[in-house]
Structure 1
Amino acid sequence: MQADDQHADSLPLVNRALGKIGHCLRQGCVICIEHAPAMAPRFTPWQVWGQPSCYSGDAGQVYREIDRCRTTHTDHHIRLNIEDYSCHSRFSFVVHNPAAG
């Protein structure tokens, strides 16, 4: 499987995860957008974009912030951290990979 095929296969998973943001926000989860110029196997120093927030329950606002971060840092990787403090859990995934376009 080539790199392009792997990226294409991962898109539905990212889209499905992004589709759940509204549900997470309704549950009171906090979303943090982060970016980094490169990803390393052992340690990547992610920088926080804006403030972690519940975005007033508006999933559209999360998408707009992701787009603003992507526009400002076109050559950076961008990920979301979704934290649910009620059950002490965190889910993170990359939403922009500059190598993939």
Structure 2
Amino acid sequence: MRITQGCFSFLPDLTDEEITVQVEYCLRMGWAVGVEWTHDPHPRNTFWEMWGNPMFDLKDAKGVLMELAECRKAEPEAYIRLNAFDSTRGFETVTMSFIVNRPKVEPVIRMTRQEVDGRSIRYTHEVVR
């Protein structure tokens, strides 16, 4: 199973050159870029671990790629994503987010649908190892 979260998740994994192009676009737009990682890609797990702080005022994509390389080295079997933040309105809003690293074997998440009282539907998720 392939976890699909964020931009580009239905495409083949991005190469470092393609990641660089996306980071350069983010920087041209004036967005700060942050690196996050997790071993739990459950759809409701929106709070991943931050790898350092978002990189505000960065002008060169190499800085982001250096942080990404360090995160990949420390957490090679983790999901790693880049988030771009737009702070032009005075608060940080995630404008773009995409996965840049995946474990060799991805977990299977099974969703079960159950009809309950009245016309309500309950969904449960289970990670199958």
TM-score, with length taken from structure 2? 0.60
More strand by share: 2
Q: Whose relative contact order is higher, 1 or 2, with alpha carbons under 8 Å and at least 6 apart?
A: 1
Normalised to the residue count of structure 1, the TM-score between the two structures is 0.74
Structure 1 residues 1-101: aligned runs within 5 Å: 9-11=11-13, 16=18, 18-54=20-56, 56-86=58-88, 88=93, 90-99=95-104
Q: CA RMSD in A?
A: 3.0
- Higher share of residues assigned helix: 1
Q: How many residues align?
A: 96
Identity value in percent: 28
TM-aligned CA deviation for residue 30 of structure 1: 0.8
SS in structure 2 at match of 1:65: helix
Shift of 1:56: 2.5
Name structure 1 gaps, 5 residues minimum: none
SS in 2 for 1:56: coil
Name structure 2 gaps, 5 residues minimum.
3-8, 106-129
The 8 Å contact of residues 36 and 47 in structure 1, kept in 2 or not, is answered as yes
